[in-house]
Homo-oligomer: A and B are copies of this chain.
Amino acid sequence: MVIEVDSAADPRIADYTRLRDTDLRKALESEQGLFLAEGEKVIRRALATGHPLRSLLTTRKWLPSFADLPADAPVYVVSDAVMENITGFQVHRGALASMGRLPLPAVQDLLGPARRVLVLEDLVDHGNVGAIFRCAAALGVDAVVLSPRCADPLYRRAVKVSMGAVFAIPYARMADWYGGLADLRRAGFQTLALTPDQNAPAIDKIPLADRVALLLGSEGDGLSSHWLAEADHGVSIPMSPNAMALGVDSLNVVAAAAIACHALLR
Contact with B along A161-181 (1 / 0, CB 8 A): 101110111000000000000
Q: How far is the CA of A265 from the CA of B243 in the complex (A)?
A: 12
Q: Which residues of B contact A246 (CB under 8 A)?
A: 137, 165, 168-169
Chain A, 218-249, CB within 8 A of any chain B CB: 237-243, 246-248
The verdict on A252 contacting chain B, using a C-beta distance below 8 Å, is yes
Contact with B along A249-261 (1 / 0, CB 8 A): 0111011111100
| Docked-complex contact B259 and A140, CB < 8 angstroms | no
| Docked-complex contact A242 and B134, CB < 8 angstroms | no
| Docked-complex contact B255 and A131, CB < 8 angstroms | yes
| Docked-complex contact A165 and B259, CB < 8 angstroms | no
| Docked-complex contact A247 and B140, CB < 8 angstroms | no
Interface size on A, residues (CB 8 A): 37
The verdict on A45 contacting chain B, using a C-beta distance below 8 Å, is yes
Q: Nearest B residue to A163 by beta-carbon distance?
A: B248
| Docked-complex contact B248 and A262, CB < 8 angstroms | no
Number of copies: 2
Q: Nearest B residue to A262 by beta-carbon distance?
A: B259
| Docked-complex contact B252 and A255, CB < 8 angstroms | no
| Docked-complex contact B138 and A247, CB < 8 angstroms | no
Q: How far is the CA of A152 from the CA of B250 in the complex (A)?
A: 23
Max chain B Cβ within 10 angstroms of own Cβ: one of A237, A252, A255: A255
Q: Which residues of B contact A241 (CB under 8 A)?
A: 140
The verdict on A135 contacting chain B, using a C-beta distance below 8 Å, is yes
Q: Nearest B residue to A140 by beta-carbon distance?
A: B240
The verdict on A139 contacting chain B, using a C-beta distance below 8 Å, is yes
Partner of A247, one of B45, B254, B258, B265: B45
Partner of A165, one of B45, B138, B248, B265: B248
| Docked-complex contact B134 and A255, CB < 8 angstroms | yes
Extra pairs beyond A138-B251, A240-B265 (14, CB < 8 Å): A131-B254, A134-B252, A134-B255, A139-B239, A139-B243, A140-B239, A140-B240, A140-B242, A140-B243, A165-B246, A169-B246, A238-B262, A254-B258, A255-B255
29 contacts between A and B (CB under 8 A): A41-B247, A45-B247, A131-B252, A131-B254, A134-B248, A134-B251, A135-B251, A135-B255, A137-B243, A138-B255, A139-B251, A140-B242, A140-B243, A161-B252, A163-B247, A164-B247, A165-B246, A165-B247, A165-B248, A168-B248, A237-B262, A238-B262, A252-B254, A254-B255, A255-B255, A256-B258, A258-B258, A259-B259, A259-B262
